[in-house]
């Protein structure tokens, strides 16, 4: 069983920055991939960024150039550095991990960007 715990969310003004963290139980080097998803009110959950076991990354078009996903295997933690935040980035940010063909989810951390 994999447990994921997010932190780092909060209220920030447009143009500001936040760094989200996702701490995992067990070794994240064994995960096929990890990712950050965003759930905004009234909208479908969407992939924000993903990083594979080989550290290959991909991003949603809306965040390219502003967000950076990374991982620290020694700390079993994944990060999402978010810069130049916009009001449309507001939402519940959830950490996900794929391990042995199963997807695991955290509870999420709220990000609110005020204009």
The reported pLDDT for the residue numbered 30 is: 87
| Neighbouring C-alpha atoms within 13 Å toward the C-beta of 70 | 9
What is the C-alpha separation between 69 and 92, in angstroms, rounded?
A: 17
Beta strands in the chain (DSSP E): 4-7, 10-13, 18-24, 33-39, 46-52, 57-59, 67-72, 77-82, 91-99, 102-105, 109-114
Q: In the chain, which residues have pLDDT < 70? A: none
The reported pLDDT for the residue numbered 26 is: 84
The reported pLDDT for the residue numbered 82 is: 98
């Amino acid at each position: 069983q994999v447990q994921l715990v997010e932190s780092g969310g909060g209220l920030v003004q447009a143009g500001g920055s936040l760094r989200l963290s996702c701490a995992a139980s067990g070794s994240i080097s064994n995960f096929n991939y990890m990712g950050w998803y965003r759930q905004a009110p009234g909208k479908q959950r969407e992939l924000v960024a993903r990083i594979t076991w080989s550290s290959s990354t991909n991003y949603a078009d809306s965040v390219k150039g502003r967000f950076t996903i990374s991982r620290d295997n020694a700390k079993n933690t994944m990060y999402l550095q978010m810069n130049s935040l916009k009001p449309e980035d507001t939402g519940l940010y959830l950490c996900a991990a794929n391990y042995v063909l199963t997807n695991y989810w955290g509870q999420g951390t709220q990000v609110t960007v005020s204009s």
